Amino acid sequence: MKKRLKDIIMRSSFASKFLRSRQVDCYIISYQCSGRTWLRVLIGKALCEQYHLPEKLFSNIYAVTTAAGIARTKKNHDDTVINKVSTDYRELSEDKSFFKDKKIIFLSRDIKDIVVSSYFHMTKKAKFFEGSMSEFIRSDRFGVKKVLRFYNIWHANREVPADFLHISYEGLKADTAEVLSGTLKFLGAKNVEKRVIDSAVAFASFENMKQMERKKAIRSFEVRPADESDNDTFKVRRGVVGGYKDYLSDEDIRYIDAMVREMGNPFAL
């Protein structure tokens, strides 16, 4: 009886997920702590201005893209959400057929910056990990090998979706306006004015994002500091490229570099 009930629940859950997916045209996919909140705010603010939509929609990527009449978009960590039930890197699914009719915006980031940011998320915000930074990056459930396998799987499957756009956090930092403009075109937003792009870039500046998190202006529970007196508990923590240098030991960096050589990183810059 229990097995039958479990099967019914699983089938129901799959059916619900399938039906919801039919209402989505594009997924923004990234490993956790890759800068996706920033990208969503950039897109949302630009669309609100370009299509004269209510300002309150800027932080709801699905609502704002739907209201704008372009590719209806949602965020997705695929199966890599890092929490107390995180899977082993060897258990990541290689089947991406779920996304075969969708557009994909794949956001990558330097592996070292990801694991440092993930460590602070897991120890100070989510509080699901109690070990050291060195233990975290070597963990089969949370560390470097999981990020690398996730990247390798998606690179091998990049032809599965209807369309695939790869952008990097580093590229977004280097030329925010250019990358944002290209992303909006990918979503179907045409002839977005330069003043709109510039306004969105200014709005999503690091300092303003930090203030929005303090004021809970971004409508997402995950964008809340666990302790406002501790910068490392913020979702918008530092916003720099190469910040890992302040946290990783030489031995940790050598370990990560060795894993990259062994497993490969197809999205490396």
Determine the Cα–Cα distance for residues 158 and 9; give it in Å rounded to an integer: 31
Q: Is residue 13 part of a domain?
A: no
Q: Is residue 117 part of a domain?
A: yes
Q: What is the reported pLDDT for 126? A: 62
Q: Is residue 55 part of a domain?
A: yes
Q: Is residue 17 part of a domain?
A: no
Among 44-53, 67-76, 119-128, where is mean pLDDT lowest? 119-128
Q: What is the reported pLDDT for 217? A: 56
* Half-sphere CA count of 199, side-chain side, radius 13 A: 14
pLDDT in tens, 64-111: 999 999 999 999 988 877 666 678 999 999 999 999 999 999 999 999
pLDDT in tens, 13-41: 433 444 455 699 999 999 988 999 899 99
Q: What is the reported pLDDT for 184? A: 98
Q: What is the reported pLDDT for 128? A: 75
Of residues 59 and 49, more confidently modeled: 49
| Number of domains observed in the structure of the chain | 1
pLDDT in tens, 197-233: 999 999 988 788 767 666 555 554 344 444 444 344 4
Q: Is residue 222 part of a domain?
A: yes
Closest CA to 61 of 31, 28, 16, 99: 28
Residue 171: give the domain boundaries: 23-263
| CATH number for 120 | 3.40.50.300
Q: Is residue 268 part of a domain?
A: no
Percent of the chain exceeding pLDDT 90 equals 63
pTM of the model: 0.82
Q: What is the reported pLDDT for 215? A: 52
Q: Is residue 68 part of a domain?
A: yes
Q: Is residue 48 part of a domain?
A: yes
Q: What is the mean pLDDT of residues 149-173?
A: 97
